[in-house]
Amino acid sequence: MAQDIYLLIVEDEAALRETTAERLVDHGYQVVAVASGEEAVERLSEFAFDVVLTDLRLPGIDGREVLGAAIERYPEIVGIVMTGFGTVKDAVEAIKRGAAEFITKPFQFDQLLHVLASALEQRRLRSENAYLRSQLEDRYRFEGLVGRSRQMRELFDLLETVSASTSTVLVTGETGTGKELAARAIHHNSRRRAHRFVALNCSAVPETLLEAELFGHVRGAYTGAVANRAGRFEIADRGTLFLDEVGTMSVALQAKLLRVLQERELERIGDTRTIKIDVRVIAATNADLPQLVQDGLFREDLYYRLNVIPIGLPPLRERREDIPLLVRHFVNRLSQQQTPAREVTVTQEAMRRMMAYGWPGNIRQLENAVERALALGGERTQIDVEDLPPELKNSAALEQPVAVTLPDGGVELPAFIANIERGLISQALNETDGNKQRAAQLLGLKRTTLVEKVRRLRP
C-alpha cells in the first residue's frame, strides 16, 4: 500500500533527513527529500505529493509556509510537522491553519510511522466526506483567467497594462489556451467595459459575407442585402472588436481591414457616406502569422498594424503548476452547477496523472476532462484515476520524482541525461507504434522538437 504514497521531506539537518528518507523508502514509500523550504515549494509546484513532512524551523521559508503552500495547492495533502521541544506552541499554530499533524523531535521512527498511518487514514475518511472546498484566491485570477505560474502572473500584469491603453493587440497561442478569455479580460478591465465586446470568428463566416459582416451594407448593395445593416465595427463602437482567427482572412479583405485600422473610418458596402468609428481591435490567431507573411498569405503591413502589442499564451504543458488550480477552479464551478450542488475533491493520484499529461488541447481539454469526470462520478464526491479520459491513464510514469542517486565517482551529467531522454523517447515511440505526433504528446513535446531530439540523441 505504501508504494503508492509519495512523500516530500523538508529538513535542513542532513543526518535526520537522510536517515528518515532511507527508512521510509525501506517501508515502501516514494520519497523526495529536500533541505530547504524554497526547494520544497518548487517541488510542490511540479508534483502532487500525498504527504509533506516538514521541519518547522528552516532557514528562509519555514515549515509553516511550506505547509501553507502545500495545502493551498492540494487541499488533499497530508501535512506533518516535525518540531523540536519548545516550539510545540508554534507547531500547534501551524496545524490550526491546515490539516496537519505534528511529531516532536527527537522521535522514534515507529512513532513517525504511526503518525503517518493515522494521518493517511484520516485523510481517507475525510475525502469520503468531501471535507474541503478551498476558495481560489483573488491573487491568482485576472477577470475569468486563473493561474499562478510565473508565465500567468506575467500575463496578468501585461493584461492589466494593456487594458489601460487603446492599442491594437494580437493574441497568439495554441488552441484552447485562453485567447478569447484574455481578449474579454482586457475589455472588461478597460474603460470601454460600458460598451460592447463584439466577437467575430473570421474563419466561421464565408469569405463572401465576411466583408459585409465587418463593415455593414446598405439596402440593395448586393443580392440579398434587403435592408441597411450595421457591421461589427459599428456595433462595437466605443467598445472592443475581437477578430478571431484573423489569419484566415483573404488578402483582398486584409487590405480593407488595414485601411479601417489606419483611418479609423469606413463606408458600409454600397454607401458613400463615411462613418467614424472608435473601436479597439484585438485580433487572435493560432496560426504562425510571420510564416503566413513569408508565404505571401498575410499582408506584412497589416501584421505590423495588428501586432502593436503581442500577447502570447503559453501552452498548458509549459506551466503544469497551474493544473491543480485550474482543476479546482473547474471542479468548483461545475459541481456547483449540479443539483444538488456537491463538494467534490480530487485524489492526489488523479492529480498526478493530470499533471503528467501533455494536454494538446490545453485548457479547453482539461475543462472537458473535469466535466467528464464529474459526470462519470455520479453521486460520488471524489474524482479518481478511473474517472479520467483513457489517454491520461498511462501518463503518470513520466513525471514521478526520479529516484536517482549520485554514484560515488560522480556522473557526466549531459551524457547521463541524454541517456534518460533516449530511454523515455524510445518507450513513447514503442507505445505509440512509432507515431511521432502521439509520442510527442506523451512526452509533452512539439512534434518537431521530438524529431530534432531523436536525431541529436541517436547513439
Ligand X SMILES: Nc1ncnc2c1ncn2[C@@H]1O[C@H](COP(=O)(O)OP(=O)(O)OP(=O)(O)O)[C@@H](O)[C@H]1O
Query: Interface with ligand X by CB under 6 A: which residues?
Result: 145-147, 173, 175-181, 286, 326, 329, 363-364, 367
Q: Please say which residue, 28 or 144, places its beta carbon nearer to ligand X.
A: 144
4 contacts 349 by C-beta, under 8 angstroms: yes
Least separation in angstroms between residue 328's CB and ligand X is 11
Between CA 355 and CA 358 the distance in angstroms is 8
Between CA 137 and CA 69 the distance in angstroms is 12
Among 65, 101, 180, 384, binds Mg ion (CB under 5 A): 180
Bridge partners for 200 per DSSP:
243
- Span interacting with Mg ion, options 173-181, 275-283, 400-408, 417-425, rule CB under 5 A: 173-181
Residue 145, contacted partner among Mg ion, ligand X, none, CB below 5-8 A by kind:
ligand X
Q: Please say which residue, 216 or 324, places its beta carbon nearer to ligand X.
A: 324
Residue 383, contacted partner among ligand X, Mg ion, none, CB below 5-8 A by kind:
none
Based on the shown chain and the rule CB under 5 A, indicate whether residue 237 belongs to the binding site for Mg ion. no
- Span interacting with Mg ion, options 143-151, 178-186, 233-241, 302-310, rule CB under 5 A: 178-186
User: Which residues, other chains included, contact 434 with Cβ-Cβ below 8 Å and sequence gap of 6+?
Assistant: none
Based on the shown chain and the rule CB under 5 A, indicate whether residue 245 belongs to the binding site for Mg ion. no
Least separation in angstroms between residue 246's CB and Mg ion is 11
Q: Which residue has the cell 514503442?
A: 430
Residue 232, contacted partner among ligand X, Mg ion, none, CB below 5-8 A by kind:
none
Bridge partners for 281 per DSSP:
241
Residue 339: all three cell numbers together: 443539483
Residue 51, contacted partner among ligand X, Mg ion, none, CB below 5-8 A by kind:
none
Least separation in angstroms between residue 364's CB and Mg ion is 9
Residue 203, contacted partner among Mg ion, ligand X, none, CB below 5-8 A by kind:
none
Least separation in angstroms between residue 244's CB and Mg ion is 5
Q: Please say which residue, 122 or 286, places its beta carbon nearer to ligand X.
A: 286
The number of beta carbons lying within 10 Å of the beta carbon of residue 21 is 19
Between CA 62 and CA 74 the distance in angstroms is 18
Between CA 180 and CA 191 the distance in angstroms is 19
DSSP assignment letter at 147: -
233 contacts 259 by C-beta, under 8 angstroms: no
Least separation in angstroms between residue 331's CB and ligand X is 12
232 contacts 241 by C-beta, under 8 angstroms: yes
Between CA 360 and CA 176 the distance in angstroms is 9
Least separation in angstroms between residue 205's CB and ligand X is 15
Least separation in angstroms between residue 180's CB and Mg ion is 4
Between CA 399 and CA 354 the distance in angstroms is 10
DSSP assignment letter at 376: H
Residue 7, contacted partner among ligand X, Mg ion, none, CB below 5-8 A by kind:
none
Residue 79, contacted partner among ligand X, Mg ion, none, CB below 5-8 A by kind:
none
Q: Which residue has the cell 493544473?
A: 323
Residue 105: all three cell numbers together: 523531535
Least separation in angstroms between residue 180's CB and ligand X is 4
Bridge partners for 78 per DSSP:
51
Residue 181, contacted partner among Mg ion, ligand X, none, CB below 5-8 A by kind:
ligand X
Between CA 13 and CA 8 the distance in angstroms is 15
Q: Please say which residue, 180 or 399, places its beta carbon nearer to ligand X.
A: 180
Based on the shown chain and the rule CB under 5 A, indicate whether residue 101 belongs to the binding site for Mg ion. no
Least separation in angstroms between residue 179's CB and Mg ion is 5
Residue 239, contacted partner among Mg ion, ligand X, none, CB below 5-8 A by kind:
none
Q: Please say which residue, 37 or 176, places its beta carbon nearer to ligand X.
A: 176
- Tell whether omega for the bond before 407 is within 30 degrees of 0, i.e. cis: no
Residue 147, contacted partner among ligand X, Mg ion, none, CB below 5-8 A by kind:
ligand X
Tell me which residue has its CB nearest to ligand X: 178
Bridge partners for 170 per DSSP:
283, 310
Between CA 116 and CA 124 the distance in angstroms is 12
Tell me which residue has its CB nearest to Mg ion: 180
Helix (H, G, I), strand (E, B), or coil: what is residue 168? coil
Between CA 398 and CA 401 the distance in angstroms is 9
Size of the site for Mg ion (CB under 5 A): 1
Least separation in angstroms between residue 175's CB and ligand X is 4
Would you tell me which residues interact with Mg ion (CB under 5 A)?
A: 180
